[in-house]
Amino acid sequence: MANHKSAKTRIIHNQKRAQINGARRSRVRTFVKKVLALIAENNKEGAAAAFKTAESEMMRAAQKGVFKKNTASRTVSRLAQKIKAL
């Protein structure tokens, strides 16, 4: 257990950030799953529209530090390739 006031503050702050980051990560995964579901249905127009929002969410999460930038770019690139292949 923390003894200093600053250490206690950091524990509380870290817990809050963990919740926010977890929610953001979950949100991104949901958007990616929606794109993959539309790709599985061979719905190119719907997948492209969903991809646009998923890309925005993924890059925003990367900017906030939830994902590494290369991970986000790789995921976006792979989704784009799948949509293009439809």
**Domain region containing 57:** 5-85
CA angle 51, 26, 9 (to 5 degrees): 135
* CATH value at residue 38: 1.20.58.110
What's the Cα-to-Cα distance from 18 to each of 15, 21, 83, rounded to whole Å?
A: 5, 5, 33
What's the pTM? 0.83
CA angle 71, 72, 75 (to 5 degrees): 85
One digit per residue, the tens of pLDDT, for the chain of length 86 reads 788 999 999 999 999 999 999 999 999 999 999 999 999 999 999 999 999 999 999 999 999 999 999 999 999 999 999 999 98
> Tokens standing for 15?
């817990």
CA angle 44, 47, 50 (to 5 degrees): 150
Q: Number of structural domains, the chain?
A: 1
DSSP tally for the chain: helices H, then strands E: 3, 0
* pLDDT on residue 1: 75
